[in-house]
């Protein structure tokens, strides 16, 4: 699918300012949309919106279909009289430049539970019929998700493989018994999904009215401790106890001597094929309701994926296994029509992977930070080699910020030596032809000026922030996904500067 020439900003919802400790769908989200419009941007890219589990990662979620209730704006619930000012009077003094997930979860879920109880206790609430229709229309995933989360609550968050055998195995009698016993808790989780979707739809409409589309993210894998795996164990390589027999990762490369061990269960693609890839079609349909464009994470895994034995300490001992290939995308097209997909084709990319991407017309991705080192794939990331059917980034959510990349030692998250870093910086200056200009604006100008149809800039680079604003460091399990911007830092001057460049380069 060909996209019109445009620019956009990558900013996850968690990074928005908010009085309640984490970015949400409230006033700051609308103010950010106004900043996008003022600076001439046409895309807002977000990370997965699902409810996070292990490590607070949006790539390790309790459901591939549900929305994160932490994104619900409490102010909107005040306006609906589902919360009273007294409910928010004890709001903690949350930090305004990072998310303290433990404190946010404890506070916000308690408040959201009060709102849900008031909504569910009012049979004549004006949104009651809309809520019931939402539950009917989404029953295919919502019922399993709400029961899964209610069961997790009773088991104090324990992984589903540690539940009682009957409910772990989803025996019919156990499902009926637990659904009856936990009926109120189940309705609470359903209400949160209803309110999340209502608030998200309002924000999306607001963006559309300003000519802004939303690019979302579909991770290739789902978390083992998720409603998806619990409800559909037949679709994954699991043993009799429900534990993975093989897990996902990527092999050793330029950035990691031992590879990356993600730990997600791997699909049984033969079973999915026999079912017409129905689960994946349903997943895409749900995502395309949320987003205008989807970034398909780890696209190369659909051609061949790195399979690691369960229990391995690193990804080094894995092997390549063929994926579903073009057949999978033919099935998606047959079920959904033209697919607005951006293929995340970073990493070890083969001609076979690129052949599938080109066959279906999915634009790939390029990160400017990767263009100047001694990575064998470096030349493909240099703007003189760009294709028009491309999404060009200064950096991504797994990278350091551009300022951090340029000013730090530079080799703490890769296999590069100090000498490699020195040569990389020399080549960067020579290639981009600059001396003292701020490196973030040099990078921004470069991707905006390129022939790539889409140019995306992480907000950290627009703001010129250093490593303290990094979103994620792959291979680490704590300290990630926390960064938030302070309200005062998003100025009219920055919007004007970005807007002038955007206009200059016809975006």
**DSSP per-residue letters across 425-444:** HHHHHHHHT-SSS-HHHHHH
Beta strands in 223-312 (DSSP E): 246-250, 260-265, 293-296, 304-309
Long-range contacts: 154-161, Cβ < 8 Å, 24+?
A: 154/182, 159/224, 159/225, 160/225, 160/229, 160/230, 160/242, 161/241, 161/242, 161/243
321 phi and psi, to 5 degrees? -130, 135
DSSP code at position 230: H
110-116 own/partner pairs: CB under 8 Å, 24+ apart: 111/74, 111/83, 111/87, 112/69, 112/72, 112/74, 112/77, 112/192, 113/188, 114/83, 114/87, 115/74, 115/77, 115/82, 115/83, 115/87, 115/195, 116/187, 116/188, 116/191, 116/192
* Residues involved in catalysis: 297, 344, 398
How far apart, in whole angstroms, are the C-alpha atoms of residue 39 and residue 259? 39
Q: Which residue has the tokens 């963006």?
A: 207
Give the residue from 166, 290, 160 showing the smallest Cα distance to 228: 160
């Amino acid at each position: 699918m060909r996209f019109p020439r445009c620019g956009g900003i990558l900013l996850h919802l968690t990074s928005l300012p908010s009085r309640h400790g984490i970015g949400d769908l409230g006033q700051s989200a609308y103010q950010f949309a106004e900043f996008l419009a003022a600076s001439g941007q046409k895309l807002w890219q977000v990370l997965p919106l699902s409810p996070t589990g292990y490590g607070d990662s949006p790539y390790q979620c309790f459901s591939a279909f549900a929305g994160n209730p932490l994104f619900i704006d409490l102010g909107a619930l005040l306006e609906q009289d589902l919360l009273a000012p007294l409910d928010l009077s004890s709001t903690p003094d949350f930090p305004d430049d990072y998310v303290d997930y433990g404190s946010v979860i404890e506070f916000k879920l308690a408040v959201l539970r009060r709102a849900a109880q008031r909504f569910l206790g009012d049979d004549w609430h004006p949104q009651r019929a809309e809520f019931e229709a939402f539950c009917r229309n989404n029953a295919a995933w919502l019922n399993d998700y709400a029961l899964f989360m209610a069961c997790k609550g009773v088991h104090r968050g324990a992984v589903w493989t540690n539940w009682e055998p009957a409910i772990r195995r989803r025996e019919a009698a156990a499902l009926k018994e637990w659904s009856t016993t936990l009926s109120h808790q189940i309705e609470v989780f359903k209400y949160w999904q209803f309110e999340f979707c209502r608030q998200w739809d309002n924000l999306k409409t607001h963006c559309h009215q300003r000519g802004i589309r939303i690019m979302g993210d579909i991770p290739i894998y789902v978390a083992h401790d998720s409603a998806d795996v619990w409800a559909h164990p037949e679709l994954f390589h699991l043993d009799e106890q429900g534990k993975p027999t093989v897990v996902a990762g990527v092999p050793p490369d330029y950035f990691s001597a031992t590879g990356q061990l993600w730990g997600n269960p791997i699909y049984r693609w033969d079973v999915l094929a026999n079912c017409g890839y129905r689960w994946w079609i349903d997943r895409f349909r749900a995502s395309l309701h949320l987003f205008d464009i989807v970034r398909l994470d780890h696209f190369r895994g659909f051609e061949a994926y790195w399979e690691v034995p369960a229990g391995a300490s690193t990804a080094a001992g894995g092997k390549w296994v063929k994926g579903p290939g073009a057949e999978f995308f033919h099935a998606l097209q047959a079920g959904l029509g033209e697919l607005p997909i951006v293929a995340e084709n970073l990493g070890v990319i083969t001609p076979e992977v690129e052949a599938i991407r080109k066959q279906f017309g999915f634009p790939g991705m390029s990160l400017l930070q990767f263009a100047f080192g001694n990575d064998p794939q470096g030349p493909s990331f240099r703007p003189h080699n760009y294709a028009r059917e491309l999404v060009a980034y200064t950096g991504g959510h797994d990278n350091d910020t551009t300022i951090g990349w340029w000013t730090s030692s530079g080799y703490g998250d890769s296999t590069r030596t100090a000498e490699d870093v020195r040569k990389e910086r020399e080549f960067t200056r020579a290639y981009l032809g600059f001396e003292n200009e701020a490196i973030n604006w040099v990078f921004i100008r470069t991707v905006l000026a390129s022939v790539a149809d889409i140019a995306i800039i992480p907000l950290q680079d627009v703001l010129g922030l250093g490593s303290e604003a990094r979103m994620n460091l792959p291979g680490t399990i704590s300290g990630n996904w926390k960064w938030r911007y302070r309200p005062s830092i998003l100025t009219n001057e920055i919007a004007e500067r970005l807007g002038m460049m955007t206009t200059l380069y016809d975006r």
